[in-house]
């Protein structure tokens, strides 16, 4: 993974503020994003099931609104 110098500085500063090594910070951030993505995908699948359509149909422009959640 290639990071810009500014990105490296930002990660280093935030990791330091949290008392973490850069490796641990990146590991935790990756896990958090992956778990959030999984939860989002399951939510989309559940909504699609309730509406009797596929996730792809649900996500087509204009098919998903806050009122349907």
Query: Sign of dihedral through CA atoms 23, 25, 26, 28?
Result: positive
Rounded to 5°, angle at Cα 36 from 17 and 33: 45
CB neighbour list of residue 64: distance below 8 Å, 6 or more residues apart: 47, 58
Q: For residue 57, what pLDDT is reported? A: 87
pLDDT in tens, the chain (69 residues): 788 999 999 999 999 999 999 999 999 999 999 999 999 999 999 999 998 998 888 888 565 565 555
Q: For residue 68, what pLDDT is reported? A: 53
Output the pTM of the full model: 0.69
């Amino acid at each position: 993974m290639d990071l810009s110098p500014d990105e490296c500085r930002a990660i280093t500063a935030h990791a330091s503020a949290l008392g973490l090594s850069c490796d641990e910070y990146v590991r935790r951030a990756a896990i958090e994003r992956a778990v959030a993505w999984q939860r989002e995908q399951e939510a989309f699948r559940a909504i699609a099931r309730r509406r009797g359509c596929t996730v792809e149909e649900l996500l087509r422009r204009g098919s998903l609104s806050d009122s349907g959640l």
